[in-house]
Amino acid sequence: MFLKLLILLYYASQTWAMCPTKCSCYLDHKGRNVVACKEGGTVGPLNLNNVSLDTEVIKITAPDDNMNTLTMSPVFQSYRRLEEIHITKSNIPQLGMHFFYGLKKLEVLNLSQNNISQPLDHNFRGLSNLKELYLDDNRIISLPSGTFRYLLGLRLLSLQRNRLEELTPRLFLEIGKLKVLKLSGNPLGILHSEVFRDIQELTFFECRGCALTKLNHDIFHLLPDLVHLDLGRNEFKNVSSDDLKDLQNLKYLKIDGNLITAIDNSTFVRQTALRRLNLSNNKISKIATGAFAENGNLTELAVAYNRISNLEFLEPLYEILEKLVLSGNHLRTESLKYLVYLNALKELRLSDCGLAEIDAEIIPKSVVILDLSENYLSTLEKEMLPLNLTTLDISGNRFRGLEEDFLTALDNTPNIKLDHNLWSCDLCHIIPLLERVNRSAVFRELLCSAPYTVKGIKLERIQRNELTWCNSPSYTASDANFFSIGRDGEVGILVASTSVFLLFLTVIAIIGALCYTNRHAARYYTHEDKIATAEWESIAGNNHSPLFGDGELNFKFPLDTIEEKKISIATIDEIKKEHTIANGT
């Protein structure tokens, strides 16, 4: 044992002695000599000065803000023991002819994150034992037929995030042992079955974000051994049993991020081996009750951010489903009743489902991971918590505080998320949380939302003797429903809008009436003043000096005179004269 240690130290010292400047040299977990140059900023032809010929792994990369600018040169042919070459973030524009020739032990070649635009077959000549080739994040526009024909032992080919718009026929010539093909992030639009004729042993295929508008079942007819298929973030509008009929060995299927609207009873009828299915981020409004009746091995199902309101489709999965993701579907509380029968469920995600309350018996007792974040919850009962819960996320809700018994039930739960709630740091709500500040950062980092004097302050800085009495009401389920803006709230919003409109019309009517009344009153008072002035002038005209005149005092009022005139008999001329006097003109 001691002798082995000395030998190991000897080789380590030799490796260190030959290590280039600005690089690190070490032994990896397999005991291989590794040279890693990660500082970046290198410009010019690639050179391996001071790199030991015994080196088995070379890693040349750079930080994003100090990338290399390298050109390839035939420097590797003397390093016969190389098993892996990684040259990334180095702006390599092209590969030279026969640069890797003679590296019979090379198994991994990673040239990702460069500027390569046109790989050719002679670039890879002499690499018959290469098993993995990574050309991700380059500028590859096209690949001619037989580009990889010298890579007879290739098992994995990754061409992700390039600029390929079409796959040339016979592109995969002579690499019939290929098992893994990754084409995600290329704007291919359509896949032709002829391209896949040379790689019929493929078991893993990814083409995420490839702008595909439909599934080509002729391709899958050539790939019956597919176990993993990822066609997410494309533009499929539907998927049928005929599209997938030849994929009977499929275990992992991702078709999330498409435009699928419904799943019928026969869609996955032939995928009896299916274990994981991702249907998230589609437009699915209906999943047939028997859609998963034949999927007896399905343990993980994700249907997040669709338009699902009925969970009856879960019935065939009661005894087998272990993970269920329903986040982003606006679910009514009564629709959650199917969850309680999922006896094998371990992970349940109900984030952003518009939930204002959850019945205590809804959550299956077998759950260990529970996500209730981004809802409208303000209270939870301790009876809802499964006994073996390891993760609980109730962040982004409307909690103002948590009860002592609820927190006691969480004492043995190692992972808890409570942030982004409406924590009210007063004597009515925060005491149970405040008493746990010294136990975990989860409690210490909580931010107070009320009262105003402590808003934005971390709970760890709050002293109990500084707490005030509560002075605002707690949120209720009905309040939360008011804030929930989903499909179920559209009618409420319409009613509220109509009420506001009617109120507006009422206010306008009242204002109009007041304006009319004021104007009428103004005209009335103006005429009254004129009448009063006329009467006074009439009195003054008939009694110029009633107190100081020479005649007898007359105690008759002018109105009495007018009344007498109205009942007396007179000629037409007299009536006209009297009318003129009465109006003061």
Same domain membership, residue 568 and residue 504: no
Same domain membership, residue 576 and residue 496: no
Question: Are the CB atoms for 325 and 346 separated by under 8 Å?
Answer: no
CA nearest neighbour of 281 among 252, 312, 255, 311:
255
Strands 300-302 and 286-287, how do they pair? unpaired
In a domain, 358, yes or no: no
Same domain membership, residue 263 and residue 299: yes
In a domain, 398, yes or no: no
Spatial neighbors of 441 by CB under 8 A, at least 6 apart, are none
Spatial neighbors of 151 by CB under 8 A, at least 6 apart, are 124, 127, 128, 130, 133, 174, 175
Q: Which domain holds residue 536?
A: 523-542+554-585
Question: Are the CB atoms for 410 and 417 separated by under 8 Å?
Answer: no
Rg (CA), the chain: 43
Spatial neighbors of 38 by CB under 8 A, at least 6 apart, are 23, 24, 59, 61, 62, 63
In a domain, 331, yes or no: yes
Sign of CA dihedral 404, 406, 407, 409: positive
pTM confidence score: 0.77
Alpha carbon of residue 489 to chain centroid: 21
Angle at 165 between CA 160 and CA 169, to 5 degrees: 95
Same domain membership, residue 331 and residue 291: yes
Same domain membership, residue 296 and residue 277: yes
Amino acid present at 533: T
In a domain, 444, yes or no: no
Digitized pLDDT (tens) for each residue of the chain, 585 residues in all: 444 444 444 444 444 457 998 899 999 999 999 999 999 999 999 988 899 999 999 999 999 999 999 998 889 989 999 999 999 999 999 998 888 998 999 999 999 999 999 999 999 999 999 999 999 999 999 999 999 999 999 999 999 999 999 999 999 999 999 999 999 999 999 999 999 999 999 999 999 999 999 999 999 999 999 999 999 999 999 999 999 999 999 999 999 999 999 999 999 999 999 999 999 999 999 999 999 999 999 999 999 999 999 999 999 999 999 999 999 999 988 899 999 999 999 999 999 999 999 998 999 999 999 999 999 999 999 999 999 999 999 999 999 999 999 999 999 999 999 999 999 999 999 999 999 998 889 999 999 999 999 999 999 999 988 898 876 554 444 444 444 444 444 444 555 566 667 787 887 878 877 766 665 554 444 444 544 444 444 444 444 444 344 444 444 444 444 444 444 555 555 554 554 444 444
The DSSP letter of residue 193 is: G
Neighbour-count burial for 359-383, b at 16+ CB within 10 Å, e otherwise = eeeebbeebbbbbbbbbbbbbbeee
In a domain, 299, yes or no: yes
DSSP for 420-434, please give it: SS--B-BTTTSHHHH
Same domain membership, residue 250 and residue 329: yes
Domain count, the chain: 3
Same domain membership, residue 329 and residue 244: yes
Same domain membership, residue 573 and residue 499: no
Spatial neighbors of 347 by CB under 8 A, at least 6 apart, are 322, 323, 324, 367, 368, 369
Same domain membership, residue 271 and residue 253: yes
Angle at 53 between CA 84 and CA 14, to 5 degrees: 105
Residue 187 CA to residue 74 CA, distance in Å, equals 33
Question: Are the CB atoms for 86 and 60 separated by under 8 Å?
Answer: yes
In a domain, 80, yes or no: no
Q: What is the CATH number of the domain that holds 288?
A: 3.80.10.10
Tokens of 147: 């580009």
Question: Are the CB atoms for 84 and 57 separated by under 8 Å?
Answer: yes
Same domain membership, residue 288 and residue 267: yes
Residue 20 burial (C-beta neighbours within 10 Å; 0-12, 13-18, 19+): middle
What is the reported pLDDT for 354?
Answer: 95
In a domain, 40, yes or no: no
Same domain membership, residue 499 and residue 569: no
Same domain membership, residue 580 and residue 493: no
Mark which of 317, 335, 353 sits at the end of a domain.
335
In a domain, 223, yes or no: no
